[in-house]
Amino acid sequence: MSHPSTAASPPPPTPAACAPTPCGCEPATGVCAVMVTHHPGADLPLCVGSVAAQVDALVIVDNASSEADRIRLHALDHPVIELIFNTENAGVARALNQGIHRAMALGHRWALLLDQDSRAEAAMVATLLAIHGSFPEAGRLAAIGSGFADARAPPVRRGAEDGPWQEVESVITSGCLLPLAVYSKVGPFREELFIDHVDTDYCFRARAKGYRIIKTREALMAHAIGSPTQHRLLWMRKWTTNHAADRRYYSARNDTAMLRDYGHYPYRLWVLKGLMRSLRQCKRIALFERGKLDKMQAVMQGWWDGVRDNMGPRRGGRARQPSLLNDSHSLS
């Protein structure tokens, strides 16, 4: 396991056809997994172990976790692991770009993106590669997303009567297999988004360039978005994600930015659309979640910052909230 120091992300190199892995062997799959960590949970070794045996390299980019977390990361014992430590939390998008650029420098053809709390199924990588290999116009594929089951329950096997994949507008970051040659053409993840809708923006840009996005029908990993809970409202059952206030801020802000950049609304009607969506978030928070005032304030600040194009890290919020990434997070 190697431990390079970090700096700003370098320009992405062109992926080579073949290069040695950190353990000195020739690649078997050409896949390098990239995982971003920030105050990872106790299940990190399990999640790392679930994917390490399936890939040629695993680059873990840590976004300014505590010293105790850094010691735990150093203790991960697998020859394919390479660690990158950032001295500040510059966001998920930048960390993903760092990891992908490292994968390209190592000569890998693919990057498999994973959250720190996602647990891969044993055939995850083989299934994703097989789908790419059998896909018509495989060269036009920008991303293959993995179906997933709730991380707190056994993965649900879905039938393949409709084929092993479906075409979608976007996929979440975790479990996403990226052909690095296509990544070089689409461009890096948009770093000013920080977190949330990082994957949506990438997929929209890829589709605008004529690429396609697909997702497996089968659950290839255990994963949860937020900490979902179900609630009864009259005769209905409603779910809520219970994301922390900072995540609510980025979700509302970046959703508004997506409406502005891709919605094609006349007369700035995307502002009103973003407001209505933010108010719906507030309604669900008010009905079902704790920390209501902080979260609803964060949502409305996010909407307003999205309107003003005030991007990057949240201003006026908690700059280094420990649960920002350890919130059973999805990077979507």
Better-predicted residue by pLDDT, 300 or 20: 300
- Could you tell me if residue 328 is inside a domain? no
Residues in the chain: 332
> Of 201, 222, 243, which closes a domain?
222
- Could you tell me if residue 23 is inside a domain? no
- Could you tell me if residue 161 is inside a domain? yes
- Could you tell me if residue 6 is inside a domain? no
Q: Residue 154 pLDDT > 90, yes or no?
A: no
Residue 266, sorted as left (phi over 0), alpha (psi -120 to 50) or beta, turns out to be: beta
Query: What percentage of the chain exceeds 70 in pLDDT?
Result: 83
Q: How confident is the model at residue 317 (pLDDT cuts 50, 70, 90)?
A: low
Better-predicted residue by pLDDT, 107 or 239: 107
CB-based contacts of 27, cutoff 8 Å, min separation 6 = 18, 19, 20, 21, 56, 107, 108
247 shares a domain with 152: no
Lowest mean pLDDT among 17-31, 232-246, 265-279, 291-305: 17-31
The pLDDT value recorded for residue 77 is 86
The 10s digit of each residue's pLDDT in 67-94 is 999 999 999 989 999 999 999 998 999 9
> Of 222, 242, 267, which closes a domain?
222
128 shares a domain with 251: no
179 shares a domain with 75: yes
The whole domain housing 265 covers: 229-307
The pLDDT value recorded for residue 26 is 43
Q: Residue 56 pLDDT > 90, yes or no?
A: yes
83 shares a domain with 206: yes
Q: What is the pTM of this model?
A: 0.86
First to last CA, the chain: 29
**In sequence order, what DSSP letters do the residues of 181-192 get, joined into one string?**
HHHHHH----GG
201 shares a domain with 162: yes
195 shares a domain with 69: yes
Domain count, the chain: 2
The 10s digit of each residue's pLDDT in 6-17 is 544 445 454 444
236 shares a domain with 112: no
- Could you tell me if residue 13 is inside a domain? no
Lowest mean pLDDT among 18-27, 37-46, 181-190, 204-213: 18-27
159 shares a domain with 62: yes
Q: Residue 312 pLDDT > 60, yes or no?
A: yes
- Distance between CA atoms of 45 and 53, rounded to whole angstroms? 13
138 shares a domain with 77: yes
- Distance between CA atoms of 18 and 31, rounded to whole angstroms? 11
Dihedral (CA of 57, 178, 160, 229) sign? positive
257 φ, ψ to 5°? -65, -40
258 shares a domain with 150: no
- Distance between CA atoms of 127 and 164, rounded to whole angstroms? 9
Considering only CA atoms, which of 61, 112, 71, 118 is closest in space to residue 91? 61
The 10s digit of each residue's pLDDT in 196-231 is 999 999 999 999 999 999 999 999 999 887 677 777
Q: Residue 27 pLDDT > 90, yes or no?
A: no
- Mean per-residue pLDDT for 309-314? 95
What average pLDDT does the chain have?
A: 87
> Of 207, 222, 237, which closes a domain?
222
299 shares a domain with 195: no
Q: Residue 24 pLDDT > 60, yes or no?
A: no
CB-based contacts of 262, cutoff 8 Å, min separation 6 = 204
235 shares a domain with 205: no
The CATH number of the domain holding residue 128 is: 3.90.550.10
Q: Are strands 31-37 and 110-115 parallel, antiparallel or unpaired?
A: parallel
Q: Which two tokens stand for residue 132?
A: 């790419």
DSSP summary character for residue 240: E
- Could you tell me if residue 323 is inside a domain? no
Q: Are 31 and 55 in contact (CB under 8 A)?
A: yes
- Could you tell me if residue 105 is inside a domain? yes
Considering only CA atoms, which of 130, 129, 97, 89 is closest in space to residue 113? 97
Q: How confident is the model at residue 320 (pLDDT cuts 50, 70, 90)?
A: very low
